[in-house]
């Protein structure tokens, strides 16, 4: 009897240890919601006490959905094109179907690659986002502080916004900066022999897209964004070594 009790006790202890989590502090970053909608984060816990690749995190909080009758509430990792291969895109997510009103949520995901954690509302039929909240470490949120999320609520607000997607390739993993119409909008690390598109929100019409990187020629092009292009337009930036 004592042997069986010991084994059973050890099993319980192991089970508790395997599921133990640590509550961690996070920084909330850029967000955009339709009028009346919101998502709040009450608690984030992690099995390893980090937000690193391979860790499993659980996020708890509340939501208010007023702009639509129902939606999908999604917890996901937006891919960081500077760290994860394109084949990893779309992995690491959890969702629940919700109805208009206020409620609570609790979702758990494993972080498959480096990127930016976010919660969002998605149309149940089209899959298009209409609310986004990014969160993570302060360093992560500082990196994406200039992200423009106007495209998320463009249909609800009546704003004419389209999505410009760019991907940067180079001979090495050089850090680059992106400017749109002379204004800094983002930075990242170029990929070698592969690429993944990163989105920017902009108005239809002509824009000057500029990409610079140390040791490389400045890449600049006038891009024309077409009105009504809901899925966005893609532009591949291939940086060339400077000869100067």
Report how far residue 161's alpha carbon sits from residue 230's, in angstroms, rounded to the nearest whole number: 9
Please check whether the two domains, 21-155 and 162-238, share a CATH topology: yes
Q: What is the pLDDT of residue 187?
A: 77
> Could you count the other beta carbons within 10 Å of the beta carbon of residue 197?
19
Query: Which two three-digit tokens encode residue 57?
Result: 């995190």
Q: What is the pLDDT of residue 231?
A: 58
Query: Which two three-digit tokens encode residue 62?
Result: 């509340």
Q: What is the strand order of the sheet 198-202 is part of?
A: 198-202, 162-169, 233-238
pLDDT in tens, the chain (244 residues): 443 434 343 434 344 344 568 999 999 999 999 999 999 999 999 999 989 989 999 999 999 999 999 999 999 987 654 444 444 444 578 999 999 999 999 999 999 887 789 999 998 887 778 899 999 999 888 877 777 777 777 665 445 667 787 888 888 888 888 898 988 877 777 777 666 667 777 888 899 999 999 999 999 999 888 876 655 678 889 999 998 7
130 within 8 A of 78, measured Cβ to Cβ: no
- C-alpha separations of 123 from 131, 148, 155, 157, 183 in Å: 10, 20, 12, 15, 32
Q: What CATH number was assigned to the domain covering residues 21-155?
A: 2.60.40
* Domain extent listing, the chain: 21-155, 162-238
Look at the pTM and tell me if it is higher than 0.85.
no
The CATH architecture one would assign to domain 162-238 is Sandwich (2.60)
134 within 8 A of 30, measured Cβ to Cβ: yes
């Amino acid at each position: 009897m004592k042997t069986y009790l010991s084994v059973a006790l050890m099993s319980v202890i192991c089970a508790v240890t395997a599921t133990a989590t640590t509550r961690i502090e996070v920084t909330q970053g850029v967000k955009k919601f339709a009028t009346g909608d919101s998502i709040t984060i009450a608690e984030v816990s992690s099995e390893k006490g980090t937000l690193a690749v391979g860790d499993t995190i659980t996020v708890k909080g509340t939501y208010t959905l007023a702009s639509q009758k129902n939606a999908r509430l999604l917890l996901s990792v937006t891919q960081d094109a500077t760290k994860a291969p394109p084949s990893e895109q779309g992995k690491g997510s959890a969702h629940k179907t919700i109805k208009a009103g206020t409620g609570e949520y609790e979702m758990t995901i494993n972080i498959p690659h480096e990127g930016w954690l976010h919660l969002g509302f998605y149309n149940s039929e089209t899959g298009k986002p209409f609310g986004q909240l990014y969160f993570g470490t302060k360093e992560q949120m500082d990196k994406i502080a200039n992200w423009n999320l106007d495209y998320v609520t463009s249909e609800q607000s009546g704003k004419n916004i389209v999505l410009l997607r760019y991907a940067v390739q180079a001979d090495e993993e050089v850090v680059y900066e992106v400017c749109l119409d002379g204004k800094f909008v983002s930075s990242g690390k170029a990929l070698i022999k592969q690429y993944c598109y990163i989105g920017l929100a902009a108005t239809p019409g002509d824009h000057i897209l500029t990409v610079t990187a140390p040791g490389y020629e400045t890449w600049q092009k006038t891009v024309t964004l077409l009105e009504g292009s809901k899925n966005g337009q893609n532009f591949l930036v291939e940086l060339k070594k400077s000869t100067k």
